[in-house]
Amino acid sequence: MVQVPNLKLNSGAEMPQVGFGLWKVGNDIAPDVVYNAIKAGYRLFDGACDYGNEVECGQGVARAIKEGIVKREELFIVSKLWNSFHDKERVEPIVKKQLADWGVDYFDLYLIHFPVATEYVDPSVRYPPGWQYEGDEIRPSKATIQETWTAMEGLVEKGLAKSIGISNFQAQLIYDMLRYAKIKPATLQIEHHPYLVQNELLRLAKNEGITVTAYSSFGPASFEEFNMEHANKVKPLLSHDVIAEIAKKHGKTNAQVLLRWATQRGLAVIPKSTKVEYMQSNLESIAFDLSDDDIKKISALDINTRFNQPSNYFPTEALWIFG
Ligand code: NAD
């Protein structure tokens, strides 16, 4: 089995550099997908309230632990705080619910999913709540990031999360946070692929000792199903000629080249696949090296294009109601 290196976080924790993404893993298959991924050698699982599959992912973990394939302490379970739970009094109760869903008593890493606070929706009304408060209406809450981050720090003090971090934050917000954070974010999870290289943000994170996790490493591949105009306009990275030429030279797949490009830039990756052969080959991407020239050629594909733009999923008539 391939040995996945760990990245040392500023919290002191060790995080596997290659993990497994859980977005859009269907509830019916999630227990088997997680179980098979553990068998394939994955130890990091990237979940979220918003993915709506934490109960089923936890079932996969429980089966693997029960069968003695892995121990809880060998896993690195990541989850995320959804937008509608940013008010300080909502943070701890929802984390406790998410832990119960997973069937574990701590998260290795818990992230603020988006720097966007929306009005609370009670889990008994709708869970996961999604972006809208009701119908098409998106209602902001008044919670600041400082309020939410302070509540996140409380999770570490209580042992509910070993490390805490952020996702989808840009430089200005990170600089602001660093003024008041008693606990620095351990990781920053961002969209990152050759069409969105983000040198400046990576430099900031490095200078501040924040580890970066790349999501959607295959660029538009994950967004095809949303039929977004700009995702359909660009060349797919999984069949791009520049990537294919480098892959051929190394006897690897395009997917492996895309993942290795990110890990050689010092990032962690969390590819998602429900196919066992892809799971395996994505994990094995860590076991070869691209040349500096290969890395430069891939980075030169940058067009500063983001696909995970939440407003793309809103109904066109969705409204932000400012109270
Ligand atoms: P991804 O870039 O991992 O791509 C997934 C797509 O690529 C799927 O269609 C899959 O079938 C295909 N694929 C996977 N391996 C392949 C291979 N070897 N060859 C060919 N095709 C392959 O997409 P993603 O799910 O968007 O991102 C990964 C994870 O990142 C998510 O599951 C989630 O955990 C996380 N994420 C986080 C955020 C956030 O806001 N923090 C947003 C998006 C994703």
What does 115-132 look like in DSSP terms, one character per residue? S--B----TTT-SS--S-
Average pLDDT of the residues in 256-272: 98
Asked if residue 266 lies in contact with residue 209, where contact means CB atoms within 8 angstroms, the answer is no
Distance of CA 24 from the midpoint of ligand 1 (Å): 9
- Scanning the structure block, which residue is given the tokens 């997917």? 255
Strands 211-215 and 187-191, bridge-based pairing: parallel
SS3 of residue 102 by DSSP: helix
Q: Whose CA is nearest to atom 31 of ligand 1?
A: 21
Residues 6+ apart with CB under 8 A from 57: 22, 25, 30, 31, 34, 45, 47, 102
Averaged pLDDT score across all residues of the chain: 95
Distance of CA 272 from the midpoint of ligand 1 (Å): 4
Q: Whose CA is nearest to atom 18 of ligand 1?
A: 278
**CA dist 239 to 71, 221, 234, 236, 319, Å?**
38, 10, 11, 6, 38
Distance of CA 157 from the midpoint of ligand 1 (Å): 32
- The pocket around ligand 1, CB under 6 angstroms, is made up of 21-23, 46, 113, 167-168, 189, 215-218, 221-222, 238, 253, 255, 270-273, 278, 281-282, 308
113 is in an annotated binding site: yes
Query: pLDDT tens digit string along 126-184?
Result: 999 999 999 888 999 999 999 999 999 999 999 999 999 999 999 999 999 999 999 99
0.85 surpassed by pTM: yes
Query: pLDDT tens digit string along 53-103?
Result: 999 999 999 999 999 999 999 999 999 999 999 999 999 999 999 999 999
Average pLDDT of the residues in 253-269: 98
From the list 35, 42, 51, 195, the catalytic residue is 51
Our mutation pick for probing the ligand 1 site, out of 272, 276, 278, counting the most ligand atoms within 8 A of Cβ, is: 272
For 8, counting Cβ atoms within 10 Å of its Cβ (0-12 exposed, 13-18 middle, 19+ buried), the class is exposed
Q: Which ranges constitute the DSSP H helices of 158-190? A: 171-180
